[in-house]
A = this chain, B = another copy of it.
Amino acid sequence: MQTYSAPLRDMRFALHELFDSNKTIELPGYEAFSPDLFDTILEEAAKFFTDTLLPINLSGDIEGCHYENGVVRTPKGFKEAYDAFCAGGWHGLSSDPAYGGQGLPMTVGKLVEEMICACNLSFGMYPGLTHGASIALKSFGSEALKDLYLPHFTDGSWSGTMCLTEPHCGTDLGLMRTKAVPQDDGTFLVTGNKIFISAGEHDLTENIIHLVLARLPDAPPGIKGISLFLVPKFIPDANGRPGTRNGVSCSGIEHKLGIKASATCQINLDEATGWIVGEPHKGMRSMFAMMNEARLGVAIQGLGVGEAAYQGAVAYAKERLQGRSLSGPKYPEKPADPIIVHPDVRRMLLTMRAYNEGCRALGTWVASIQDEVLRSIDPKVREAAEDFVAMMTPIMKAMFTDFGFESANLAVQIYGGHGYIREHGMEQYVRDARIAQIYEGTNGIQALDLVGRKLPANMGRSLRRFFHPVQEFIDANKDDAQIGEMVQGYAKAFGALQLATGHIAQKGMADPEEAGAAATEYLRLFGLVALGFMWLRATKVSLAALAAGSQETAFYEGKIATARFFFDRLLPQTGSLWFSIKSGKASMMALPADVF
C-alpha cells in the first residue's frame, strides 16, 4: 500500500540536533523565523501533502497525462490539488520575498520538497520546474522581465519550463540547432524543436513560460554560442495578463516508464517571440544556474521516493505473515510470523533506512550551507559555502537517486509478487525513481562533473571544505570510549577516499580518460564516506542525548543501531571501490569499439 507519514522526528533531528537551526536564523533575512516555526511549517506541510498529494499518486500514475490536438490534460484531481497547493502558499514557500515569496531557508525548504516527492513525484515536477526557471530568471533576467514574471512564478499562477534537449542533442548541448533571430523591437523570433520538456504543456496554470536555449545568428559554434530566451505560451498584454498566443506548441507527449502524471512534451517553436535572459552567447551560465538547483532538487526526489518506499515496505513487513523466525516462532499464536523477523528482510529495510536517514542528514547539511551562499554577508563564508555546495551537488544528485531507485526495488522485493503488481503501488516507485538517475545530467555525467570540474577547481580548494571537518572529527573522536572504534573503522574508508583523490588528481592530469574511468566509482566512494560522516555525527549526538537522560530511547537507539548497520554492511563497499579505481583505465579502454 502507498502509505506515508512524513518523518518529522528525523527531520527535526537533522535540522536542530545534527545541525544547528539557530545558526540558520542568524543569517540576514531569516531573523523572522524560529526553530519552533520551522517545526510548525513542517507539520503543516506534512498534513497538507499527505491529504492532497498522496491520494492522487497511484491514480495519477494509472490514468497518466493525455494529449489531444496540442492540449495536455493532467490526471483527475491534479488541477484541484495544484490550486489548493498554490492557495495554501506552498508554491512560494522558499521564494524571494521581493517577489511575493515567503523566503523560507533552504534547510527547511528541502525537507518540505522531500515530502512533496514522497507523496507524489509527478505532481512535484510542476512547481519544481517553475522554481528552477525562477532561479535562472532572478539571477540573469532584466528587471522588467523579473517584475513581470517572477510574481506569477511565486504564486504558481504561471509555470516554467527548461527547454534544453533536442532529438539529436542531450548531454552535448553544443550540437543545438534551435535558432533565435533578433527583431527591431529587442525581442527575438525563436524556431526549433525541443523534446523531453517536463511540464511543457498542461492544464494547471493560465500561462506557461518556457526558458529556451537557442543560437543567435552570429553565434560561435558549440556551447559558447548558446543564449537563453524566455518564451511565454501567451504573451502578456499591457496589463500583464496572458494575451496573444505565441508560436509555441506541443506536438505530443512521451510514453514513459514512470512519472506518468508529469507531462513530458515535444515542443515546437515556430518564430515564437522570445526575450533574451542574460547576455548573448552566455546561455550556458544561466542554464547552469537552473541546472545546479535542479540537480539538488532531483537528489531530493531520490530521497523522497526512497522514504516512501521504505515506509511501504515496513508496513508490509510488519503485517505479512509468512514463515517462522529462524530463532523460533515469535508470534506462536499466529499462523506465521510477520516477515520482519527474517534477517534478509531486515537487511533490506535497514539498507533503505540507512540510505534515507543518511541522505536526509547530508541534504540538510548541504542546504544549511546553501543558506550561507544565499544570505551570508561575509564574502569568505559565501565563497567557502559555494565551493562546498558545488562539490556536493553531483555527489548528492547521483548517490541520492541511485539509492532512491535501489530502495524502491528493495521495497518491491520485500513485497515479493505483490510488489510486482500495480495495486500496492511499490512498482510505481521503481518506475518513478528511475528517471532521477537520468535527467538533469545522467549520473555518469555527475561523476564526470565531480572529477573533471569540481575536484580540480581552484586547485582542490573545494575538496578541503569537506576533508577538513571530517579530519577534525576523526582527530577529536578517534579515542572516544564510545565511538572511537567506529571512528577508526571510518578513518580507513576516509583514507581510501584520500588515496583515490590523489590517484585521480595525479593520473587524471596526464590523461583525462583516467579520471573518466574512475569517475563513477569515485563518486560513490565519496558519497559513502560523506554518509559515514553523517552517521558518525548522528551516533555521537544520539549517545549524548541518551546520556543526558532523554526519554526518546527508541529513537536514539534506532539511530545508533542503524549507524552500526551502515558501518558493518554498507561502508565496507569503499574498499572494493578503491580497489577498482586504482586498476585504472586499461581494462576499460582496451577493447576496440567494433568488438563490442
Q: Which residues of A contact B (CB under 8 A)?
A: 165, 168-172, 174-175, 195-196, 254-258, 264, 314, 317-318, 321-323, 325-327, 335-336, 338, 340-350, 353, 405, 409, 412-413, 416-423, 427, 430-431, 434-435, 437-439, 442-444, 447-448, 511-513, 515-517, 519-520, 554-555, 557-558, 561-562, 564-565, 567-569, 572-576, 579-580, 583-596
Task: Indicate if the CB atoms of A558 and B438 lie closer than 8 Å.
Answer: no
* Residue among A338, A353, A417, A573 with most chain B CB within 10 A: A417
Chain B: CB-nearest residue to A422: B255
Q: Which residues of B contact A409 (CB under 8 A)?
A: 405, 434
Q: What is the CA–CA distance of A165 and B421 in the complex, to the nearest angstrom?
A: 14
Q: A257-B422, A405-B409, A430-B434 are in contact. List 10 more A-B contacts (CB 8 A).
A: A165-B417, A256-B427, A257-B427, A314-B596, A348-B444, A412-B438, A413-B442, A417-B439, A557-B595, A575-B575
Q: What is the CA–CA distance of A174 and B336 in the complex, to the nearest angstrom?
A: 9
Counting from the closest, the 3 A-B pairs by CB-CB distance are: A568-B583, A343-B516, A564-B587
Q: How far is the CB of A102 from chain B (nearest CB, A)?
A: 33
Chain B: CB-nearest residue to A520: B344
Q: What is the CA–CA distance of A282 and B135 in the complex, to the nearest angstrom?
A: 68
Task: Indicate if the CB atoms of B517 and A347 lie closer than 8 Å.
Answer: yes
Q: What is the CA–CA distance of A254 and B348 in the complex, to the nearest angstrom?
A: 26
Q: Which residues of B contact A254 (CB under 8 A)?
A: 421-422
Q: What is the CA–CA distance of A169 and B169 in the complex, to the nearest angstrom?
A: 50
Q: Say which residue of B340, B421, B515, B565 sits within 8 Å of A593 (CB atoms).
A: B340
Task: Indicate if the CB atoms of B590 and A564 lie closer than 8 Å.
Answer: yes
Task: Indicate if the CB atoms of A171 and B561 lie closer than 8 Å.
Answer: no
Chain B: CB-nearest residue to A583: B568
Q: How far is the CB of A414 from chain B (nearest CB, A)?
A: 9
Chain B: CB-nearest residue to A426: B257
Task: Indicate if the CB atoms of B444 and A326 lie closer than 8 Å.
Answer: no
For chain A, what secondary structure do more than half of its interface residues adopt (helix, strand, loop), or is it mixed?
helix
Q: Say which residue of B257, B513, B519, B587 sits within 8 Å of A565 (CB atoms).
A: B587
Q: What is the CA–CA distance of A414 and B184 in the complex, to the nearest angstrom?
A: 44
From known contacts A444-B413, A519-B344, infer whether A572 and B568 are also in contact, taking CB-CB under 8 Å.
no
Task: Indicate if the CB atoms of B340 and A585 lie closer than 8 Å.
Answer: no
Q: Which residues of B contact A573 (CB under 8 A)?
A: 573, 576
* Residue among A342, A412, A448 with most chain B CB within 10 A: A342
Q: Which residues of B contact A574 (CB under 8 A)?
A: 576
Q: What is the CA–CA distance of A413 and B441 in the complex, to the nearest angstrom?
A: 11
Q: How far is the CB of A345 from chain B (nearest CB, A)?
A: 7
A-B contact pairs, 18 of them (CB 8 A): A171-B322, A175-B321, A175-B322, A256-B427, A257-B427, A325-B513, A326-B515, A343-B517, A343-B519, A347-B588, A349-B596, A405-B409, A412-B434, A413-B444, A416-B438, A420-B438, A561-B595, A573-B576
* Residue among A264, A349, A584, A591 with most chain B CB within 10 A: A591
Q: Which residues of B contact A335 (CB under 8 A)?
A: 175
Task: Indicate if the CB atoms of B419 and A438 lie closer than 8 Å.
Answer: yes
Q: Which residues of B contact A327 (CB under 8 A)?
A: 511-513
Q: Which residues of B contact A169 (CB under 8 A)?
A: 322
Q: How far is the CB of A9 from chain B (nearest CB, A)?
A: 12
Task: Indicate if the CB atoms of A569 and B554 lie closer than 8 Å.
Answer: no
Q: What is the CA–CA distance of A310 and B322 in the complex, to the nearest angstrom?
A: 37
Q: How far is the CB of A65 from chain B (nearest CB, A)?
A: 13
* Residue among A258, A335, A435, A520 with most chain B CB within 10 A: A335
Task: Indicate if the CB atoms of B416 and A170 lie closer than 8 Å.
Answer: yes
Task: Indicate if the CB atoms of A561 and B590 lie closer than 8 Å.
Answer: yes
Q: Say which residue of B171, B427, B513 sits within 8 Å of A343 (CB atoms).
A: B513
Task: Indicate if the CB atoms of B591 and A512 lie closer than 8 Å.
Answer: no
Q: Which residues of B contact A437 (CB under 8 A)?
A: 413
